[in-house]
A and B are shown apart, each in its own frame.
Chain A
C-alpha cells in the first residue's frame, strides 16, 4: 500500500472533530443527567446520583411521560409496518409503467420537501372542519406517514436500481407464478433493505414532532411531551429523560443492525445466493 498523503491526517482530525460535534452535546447531557440532587442544568456536577432518573419513575409532576412513551411506541410500530408494506408495493409499482407514475413521483418528492407544519395544519383543519376528533392513531398516524413513506420509497428506488432482473426471469422461465417470483425471489433478495426501511419508519415516527403537533389531539406523543417539559422544567430531570430516550433509540438501532447481521450470516450458512441479487 502506498503511504498516506499528508491530507489524510488533516482530514482524520477534521472527521474526529465532526464526530465530537455530533456526539459531544448528547454525551454531555448523559453525564449531567447523573447530577446530584442539588445540581443544575450546567456543570459543575454536585455529586453523582441517579436522583433524576428516580424522579422520572416516581414524581407525576413531570407529566404523563410513560403514557406518552407507550403511545409513541405503538404509533412507531404502526407507522413502521405500514411504511414497509406500502413502500415495497410502491417500489414494485414503479418498476412497471403506469399512467400517472410521474405525477405520483412528484407527489412523493412534495411530501418530502413540504414544510412539516403545513401537513400538521392541513390535516388538523380537515379533521376539525369535518367534526372528527384528532387522535394520534388516526390523523397523527397519517400525518407521520407523509414523512416516513418518501424515505421508504427512496430506499426502495435505490434498491431496485441495483436489482439484477435475471433472477426473476430465471424463476419465470422455471414456471413460477408472479406471486411466487415475489415471495421466493424478490423478497429474499431485498430483505436486508426492508429492515432499513423498517428502522427509518420506526425512528422517524418515534422522534417526529412537527407533523404530530396539531394532529395528535389531547394525548401527547413523547416528543410533544418532552417539548412541553422544556418550557416549564428547569431541572436535570429533562436530561435524564433525554438520556433515556436516546439510549432507547440506540438500542433500537442496534437491534436492527443485529437482525441484518444475523440474516446475512444465516444466508451464508445455508448457501443461499440471495445476497448476490444486487448489482
Chain B
C-alpha cells in the first residue's frame, strides 16, 4: 500500500505540476491582484476592497450578471432539447453499431474545427443582405431586411447553440447506450405508450448524461466572452466581456475582482450539479 501510494504520486506528479503552475497559481494571483490598486497606466500592490465595493454597488454589474444567466438558461434549454433528441435518435432508432458510430462522428467533427470560423460562417446567413433575409423577402414574409438577425441576442444564442449542442449530445448518447434495451421492451409489454416509455424510463435513466452535458454548457456559456462580443457586434455584454473590457483598459485589479466573483458563481453552480452525478462512474 505504501509503495502503491508512492507510485501513484509519481505518476500524478506531472499533472499536479501543470495544474499547480497554470491553474492554482493563476487563480491565487487573480485573488491577490483583485485587492490591488490601479492608476491609468499601472497597477500597484495594496490591500483594499475598493474594486469589490465598486463592483458590488454598481447597478451595471447586476444587469450584466442577469444577462449572463439569461444566455446560460436559454442556451441550456435549447441545447438540451436538441441534444436529447439527436442522442435519442442515434441510440434507439439507429440499429447497426457501424451506423451509430458513423453518424456520431459526423456530429462530433465540427467540435474539432475552429469556433471563430464557425462564428464567422454565420455572417452570410444572418447579415442584412444575407441568405435568411433574401429568402424571407422573396417568399414575401417580410418587406424589408430584418435587422435583428445579426448582432443581437438572437445571433448570440444561435451561435452558442451551434457551438455547444455537441456537449449535450456526447454525454447523453454515452449514457443512453448503456440503457438495457430489455427495459424499453418491458415498458412496452406492460402497456406503456411511446411517450410514457420516454418520460418514465428513458429520461430518468439518462439523467447523469444530462447533468454532465449541463455542466459543460453552463460552464462554457458563463465563461464566454468572444461569442458575445463577435455575435452581438459589441452591443450586448456578459461578465466575460466586462472582464475583457477592463483588461483592455489595463485595469487588471478591477478585472480580477470581477473574475473572482465570476469564478465563485461558476464553481457554486457546478458544485451543486456535481452533487447529483458521479462523473467518474458515468464515463
Interface of A is mostly: helix
Q: Tell me whether B266 is interfacial, beta carbon within 8 Å.
A: yes
Q: Tell me whether A75 is interfacial, beta carbon within 8 Å.
A: no
Q: Given B27, B88, B114, which contacts A246 in the complex, CB threshold below 8 Å?
A: B114
The reply to whether B230 and A230 contact each other, CB–CB distance below 8 Å, is yes
Q: Tell me whether B73 is interfacial, beta carbon within 8 Å.
A: no
Q: Tell me whether A185 is interfacial, beta carbon within 8 Å.
A: no
Given A114-B266, A118-B259, the answer on whether A43 and B124 have CB atoms closer than 8 Å is yes
Q: Tell me whether A264 is interfacial, beta carbon within 8 Å.
A: no
The chain A residue with its CB closest to the CB of B113 is A249
Q: Given A5, A42, A113, A249, which contacts B129 in the complex, CB threshold below 8 Å?
A: A42
Interface residues of B in 203-231 (CB under 8 A from A): 215, 219, 222-226, 230
Q: Tell me whether A78 is interfacial, beta carbon within 8 Å.
A: no
Q: Tell me whether B53 is interfacial, beta carbon within 8 Å.
A: no
Count residues of A near B (Cβ-Cβ below 8 Å).
Answer: 91
The chain B residue with its CB closest to the CB of A128 is B252
Q: Tell me whether A69 is interfacial, beta carbon within 8 Å.
A: no
Given A25-B162, A118-B26, the answer on whether A89 and B223 have CB atoms closer than 8 Å is no
Interface string of B117-130 (1 = CB under 8 A from A): 11011111101011
The reply to whether A114 and B223 contact each other, CB–CB distance below 8 Å, is yes
Q: Given B1, B15, B162, B267, which contacts A22 in the complex, CB threshold below 8 Å?
A: B162
Q: Given A1, A89, A110, which contacts B15 in the complex, CB threshold below 8 Å?
A: A89
Please give, as numbers and ranges, the residues of chain B lying within 8 Å of A105 by CB-CB distance: 280
Q: How far is the CB of A119 from chain B (nearest CB, A)?
A: 6
Interface string of A80-114 (1 = CB under 8 A from B): 00000111011011101111110011011111111
The reply to whether B116 and A223 contact each other, CB–CB distance below 8 Å, is yes
Please give, as numbers and ranges, the residues of chain A lying within 8 Å of B22 by CB-CB distance: 119, 123, 142-143, 145-146
Q: Tell me whether A66 is interfacial, beta carbon within 8 Å.
A: no
The reply to whether B222 and A115 contact each other, CB–CB distance below 8 Å, is yes
Interface string of A4-40 (1 = CB under 8 A from B): 1101100110110011011111101100100000000
The reply to whether B113 and A28 contact each other, CB–CB distance below 8 Å, is no
9-residue interface stretch from A168-176, A207-215, A270-278: A207-215
Interface string of B97-134 (1 = CB under 8 A from A): 00000010111011011111110111111010111001
The reply to whether A85 and B14 contact each other, CB–CB distance below 8 Å, is yes
Interface residues of A in 42-60 (CB under 8 A from B): 42-43
The reply to whether A118 and B15 contact each other, CB–CB distance below 8 Å, is no
The reply to whether B89 and A15 contact each other, CB–CB distance below 8 Å, is yes
Q: Given A26, A43, A86, which contacts B18 in the complex, CB threshold below 8 Å?
A: A86
